[in-house]
Amino acid sequence: MVVVFVLVAVAVLALLAGVHRYVWRRLIGDTTAKGSLARRVGTAAAFVLPLLTVGAFVSSRSGVPFPVQQVLAWPGYLWLAALLYLTLALLVGEAVRPLLRRFLARRAATRQAAPVDVSAGAPAVQVPAAAEPGPATDGGTRTDPAPDTEAPAPPVADPSRRLFVARAVGGAAALAGLGTVGLGTYGVLRGPRTKRITVRLAGLPRSAHGFRIAMVSDIHLGPILGRAHTRRVVDAINATNPDLVAVVGDLVDGSVADLGPAAEPLAGLEARHGSYFVTGNHEYFSGAAEWVDHVRELGLHPLENARVEIAGFDLAGVNDVAGESEGQGPDFARALGDRDRGRASVLLAHQPVVIDDAVEYGVGLQLSGHTHGGQLWPGNLVAELANPTVAGYERYGDTQLYVSRGAGAWGPPVRVGAPSDITVVELASPQA
């Protein structure tokens, strides 16, 4: 097992080294002169930025003081996203590069072959008499001058043209890649948008028709997203005037000691039937027991493989599957085993992969997160390999599943193609 881990780590490092080399070559090596200030600065950045990325990952897992984590996190994680989109943009540029070279070469050839206009006073060229055709003057046979049969010289590549192409393609790739990261960062820091869906729930009494659950997942408080982000999320939830709030895991990336103050605005959540919380996998990387106690102090009700009756339906919650390593994994029998299956039920479970258990226990609706909708395109293609549903609504037999993209971001504070959200799930009674 250790050997496999080492081999995978070496392969990943080799891939990252190769990608950095490629990006340096296209953005710096091909566009700057040897020994120039621009090349020195670009080369230094090519070494420093990946070291900051490694530092950001290592510091968050090695007990480094939290202020140091914050200093490393911004440049380190942002560079990871920038590297992805710079590489994708440069790969697109590989297809554009030969087309641009060909266009410029043809334009240069056309200019060189253009006829010279001699009508504007250019001096006439005198032709020597001996070269003019006519009868021979010495009584011999007339000879005409031999035609010029020498082949034209092949075109010589223009260094200035190569440099222009390299700078044009590299500049466009840098603009596209960094612009994508900038817009994706703005989308995260702006805060989540509110989505609304209506779910027809079997067994829901008429009295509970229109019950609204404000669901939020994957807030990911950490060295980048802090108290201000929590406040944005809380304000967005309260603005929906929900009947109940469900926080479906991955609230934090760090300890209570470091992030407790960042989570405090959660105490301001307002809902007629209270706020509920289930653990995500990142809670088990951050001290799940301490976080469960802390959110309880903030007024949330943790559902640790437990169930409560609310307004005519059962609300259940299970621990995340990551808790199995601590003997605290999901226990569906404990949460749902003895319930009346004739009643409507809503299950809070961080990862959508437990949908099969939800179907087995007759759950009407499962609310999940975890996937971030892929967060960074084309990450959604990878997420689809590991999850039954990446984002949105799907039905599995008689059980319905809704997966939120989440309200924060893990690693790079960037989202591309997967905007953050909170979702208001309005329950509809078949009797209404």
pTM: 0.86
pLDDT in tens, 59-102: 988 889 999 999 999 999 999 999 999 999 999 999 999 999 89
Residues ≥6 apart with Cβ < 8 Å to 387: 351, 352, 353, 370, 371, 403
b/e per residue, 176-209, with b = 16+ CB within 10 A? Answer: bbbebbeebbebbbebbeebeeebebbbbeeebb
% of the chain with per-residue pLDDT over 90? 80
The pLDDT value given to residue 132: 46
User: Residue 159's pLDDT is what?
Assistant: 79
What is the rounded CA–CA span in Å between residue 236 and residue 73?
26
Q: Pick the most confident of 4-8, 81-85, 154-158, 309-313.
A: 81-85
Asked if residue 134 has pLDDT above 50, the reply is: no
Structure tokens belonging to residue 303: 């559902």
Per residue in 222-232, pLDDT (tens digit) is 999 999 999 99
pLDDT tens per residue, range 242-259: 999 999 999 999 999 999
**Do you know the residue count of the chain?**
432
Question: Is residue 286 pLDDT above 50, yes or no?
Answer: yes
pLDDT at res. 137: 45
pLDDT, residue 8, reads 86
For the segment 357-369, what is each residue's pLDDT rounded down to a tens digit?
999 999 999 999 9
Please give the mean pLDDT across all residues of the chain. Answer: 90
259 burial via Cβ count (<10 Å: 0-12, 13-18, 19+):
buried
Percent of the chain beyond pLDDT 70?
89
∠ CA 79-84-85, nearest 5°, is 100
Is 136's pLDDT higher than 60? no
Q: What is the pLDDT of residues 154-174, one digit of tens each?
A: 454 577 889 999 999 999 999
Report the alpha-carbon distance of residue 291 to residue 297 in Å, rounded. Answer: 10
Quick one: pLDDT band at residue 146, thresholds 50, 70, 90?
low
Report the alpha-carbon distance of residue 117 to residue 71 in Å, rounded.
Answer: 66
Which tens digits make up the pLDDT trace of 258-274? Answer: 999 999 999 999 999 99
Q: How confident is the model at residue 130 (pLDDT cuts 50, 70, 90)?
A: very low
